[in-house]
């Protein structure tokens, strides 16, 4: 089993779990290393528009999502979906811990960071939280 240990960060009084990942679009060959928020309350994985544009993701009817996604405000978001390669990186961002294909949703806004939710990402891993040591462990 492959493991990745990541720190739990404190921002504005909230504990956040960021993962270092490289997202690649096999169709365009473009990739980008980013910090993504691991969100155990999110059903899906999401990308902001800026990253979707950089990776060359289409905003067309063929990629329009049929599912109704609602943000934290409760407002429905028009989204699109695309399968991308995700390399989970260690904390140094130099070594690949695990690679998987994830269906990302994306829309026409930049109101959120890259989010790793249950469908496509967390469902393929075991997540252990150690609040005492301020660490999480992802196992694949």
Burial 79-102 (b: 16+ CB within 10 A, else e): bbbbebebbbbeeeeeeebbeeeb
**56-79, pLDDT tens digit by residue?**
999 999 999 988 787 667 778 889
Rounded to whole angstroms, how far apart are CA atoms 104 and 80? 8
Report the pLDDT value the prediction gives residue 72, as an integer from 0 to 100. Answer: 67
- The stretches in the chain having pLDDT less than 70 are 71-72
Report the pLDDT value the prediction gives residue 71, as an integer from 0 to 100. Answer: 67
Residue 21's nearest CA partner among 121, 124, 103 is 121
Q: For residue 131, how many other CB atoms are within 10 A of its CB?
A: 9
Mean residue pLDDT of the chain comes to 92
Q: What is the dihedral of CA 48, 50, 52, 54, to 10 degrees?
A: -150
**93-104, pLDDT tens digit by residue?**
999 999 999 999
Burial 34-46 (b: 16+ CB within 10 A, else e): bebbbbeebebbb
């Amino acid at each position: 089993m492959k493991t990745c240990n990541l720190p739990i960060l404190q921002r504005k009084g909230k504990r956040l779990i960021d993962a270092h990942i490289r997202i690649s679009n096999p169709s365009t060959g473009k990739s980008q290393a980013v910090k993504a928020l691991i969100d155990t309350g999110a059903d899906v994985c999401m990308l902001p528009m800026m990253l979707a544009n950089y990776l060359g993701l289409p905003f067309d009817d063929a990629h329009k999502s049929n599912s109704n996604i609602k943000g934290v405000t409760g407002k429905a978001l028009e989204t699109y979906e695309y399968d991308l390669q995700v390399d989970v990186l260690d904390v140094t961002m130099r070594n690949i811990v695990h690679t998987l294909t994830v269906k990302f949703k994306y829309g026409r806004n930049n109101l959120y960071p890259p989010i790793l939710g249950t469908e496509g990402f967390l469902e393929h891993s075991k997540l252990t939280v150690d609040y005492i040591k301020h660490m999480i462990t992802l196992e694949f």
